[in-house]
Amino acid sequence: MLHYDRQVTTICPYCGVGCNLNLHIKDDRIVRVTSFYDHPVNRGNLCVKGRFGLEYVHHPDRLTTPLIRRNGRLEPASWDEALGLVAERLNAIKAESGPDSIALLSSAKCSNEDNYLMQKLARQVIGTHNIDHCARL
Ligand code: SF4
């Protein structure tokens, strides 16, 4: 008897290596993680985070929507609302103090393409070279 209802093939969310994950799902919960031996990125190997670190997906405290602080309290907001607020604040800071008053910190959890776009946002849109990456810290 199978211990799962279905399998979902995806990419590990933890780092930019991009290992293949094969999620075993039962009752809409991840019950086991394996990887395909013929996958070109990781050949079935997974580090401890990819293999055993996905339980957070089901944690009740997990954030599933942006939060905006209003009157000292964090309140759920839409992505359009949250991104609009960030753009508005960044524009205001840039107008008041110049582009080099802003710095962007990107993440090893993002893909290379995401990190490339982040430095484009810093250099081409905001106008600063203040861009760094958490893997250097
Ligand atoms: S399994 Fe480990 S090495 Fe592979 S992508 Fe996930 S965190 Fe990175």
Q: Is any ligand 1 atom within 6 A of the Cβ of residue 21?
A: no
pLDDT at 1: 67
Q: Is any ligand 1 atom within 6 A of the Cβ of residue 35?
A: no
As a whole number of angstroms, the distance between CA 4 and CA 31 comes to: 7
The pLDDT of 35-54, averaged and rounded, is: 96
**pLDDT for 43 beyond 70:** yes
**pLDDT for 110 beyond 90:** no
Going from the N-terminus, what domains does the chain have, and what CATH number goes with each? 6-58 (2.20.25.90), 63-97 (no CATH), 99-137 (no CATH)
In the chain, pLDDT over 90 holds for what percent of residues? 82
pLDDT at 71: 96
**pLDDT for 73 beyond 90:** yes
Percent composition of the chain: helix, strand, coil (DSSP 3-state, to 5): 35, 25, 40
In the chain, pLDDT over 70 holds for what percent of residues? 98
Q: Side-chain half-sphere of 1: how many Cα atoms within 13 Å? A: 2
Ligand 1 pocket test, candidate residues 11, 33, 45, 46, most atoms within 8 A of CB: 46
**pLDDT for 64 beyond 70:** yes
- Residue 23's pLDDT band, with cuts at 50, 70 and 90, is very high
**pLDDT for 26 beyond 70:** yes
Mode of pairing for the β-strands spanning 29-34 and 67-70: unpaired
Q: Rounded to the nearest 5°, which phi and psi values hold at 21?
A: -120, 140
Q: Which amino acid is at 6?
A: R
**pLDDT for 137 beyond 70:** no
Question: What six digits make up the tokens of 105?
Answer: 């910190």
